[in-house]
Amino acid sequence: MNDWIIKSSIPVECDVLNESLQFPSRNIYCVGRNYRDHAIEMGGDPQREKPFFFQKTSDILIKNGSELLYPKDTSDLQYEVELVVAISKDAFKVGLHEAKNKVFGYAVGVDITKRDLQKISKNSGEPWFSAKVFYGSAMISDIVPKEDSYHPDDIKISLEVNGKRKQFTGCNKMIWNVFELISILSQTIPLKAGDLIFTGTPSGVGQLQKGDIIEAKLIQNNSTSLSFVVE
Ligand code: MN
């Protein structure tokens, strides 16, 4: 045992479907443009170019059933529904086969983006940090352990705003699949047990307004969902 000079904060906990034990979240890695239809709607090139990543800290996570406070420094707050992969074991420089053994389970998440700030960052060549990382900028449903889940290619995800479906996709439409993403990320970053990967959003992203009720779903046999209100 190490003797630490201060007491470390405990991890932000994520609920696990039909399980009283909780998943301790660590880093959140996010993938940009991982669906062709979304790459096109963002003005990108939908070729299978190398995936790119950015990172959030799990300290910004808010829980299912929470209120998302509309931040004061944006007027274009947007939702992005994504399949989330929860990592069970440390993974550094792993291949595709090994990547499969590092998955704890799957959830649906929403990556919240200040699109106006992101556009300013893109135009000036600065990092997306302020557009992507702020309290409430990610949320996650209960995690479904992989033993109770479909193969990610057979999972579907959706997002509704005030009862109207805005986003829907099969996760088999990803440009880079779950195991490829784990393997690619792990070539340069030691992934750790507790890390979460937000695997990118399909088309249909759009604005949130105060008062909106959002519901995101992970659609499979053991389905799960998350909902929140914008205040
Ligand atoms: Mn995203």
pLDDT digits (tens, 9 = 90+) for 208-230: 999 999 999 999 999 999 999 99
Instruction: Say how many Å lie between the CA of residue 3 and the centre of ligand 1.
Output: 38
Instruction: Say how many Å lie between the CA of residue 11 and the centre of ligand 1.
Output: 22
Angle at 103 between CA 112 and CA 159, to 5 degrees: 30
Which segment of 50-54, 76-80, 109-113, 204-208 scores lowest on mean pLDDT?
A: 50-54
Instruction: Say how many Å lie between the CA of residue 81 and the centre of ligand 1.
Output: 7
At 83 the pLDDT is 98
Which residues are paired to 30 by β-bridges?
54, 198
Contact criterion met (CB below 8 Å) for 80 and 168: no
Instruction: Say how many Å lie between the CA of residue 79 and the centre of ligand 1.
Output: 8
- The order of strands in the sheet holding 156-161 is 67-68, 224-230, 213-219, 156-161, 164-170
3-state helix, strand, coil in the chain (%, to 5): 20, 40, 40
- The whole-model pTM stands at 0.96
Residue 216 in tokens: 């995101």
| Portion of the chain with pLDDT greater than 70, in percent | 98
Local confidence band at 95 (pLDDT 50, 70, 90 cut-offs): very high
Helix (H), strand (E) at residue 162: none
pLDDT in tens, 134-170: 999 999 999 999 999 999 999 999 999 999 999 999 9
Instruction: Say how many Å lie between the CA of residue 54 and the centre of ligand 1.
Output: 9
Contact criterion met (CB below 8 Å) for 83 and 152: yes
Residue 156 in tokens: 């579907």
Instruction: Say how many Å lie between the CA of residue 160 and the centre of ligand 1.
Output: 16
C-alpha–C-alpha distance, residues 72 and 74, integer Å:
6
Local confidence band at 40 (pLDDT 50, 70, 90 cut-offs): confident
Whether the pLDDT of residue 39 is over 90: the answer is no
> What domains lie within the chain, and their CATH numbers?
13-230 (3.90.850.10)
Write out the E strands in 37-134. Answer: 52-57, 61-63, 67-68, 77-79, 81-87, 103-111, 113-114
Average pLDDT over residues 99-128: 96
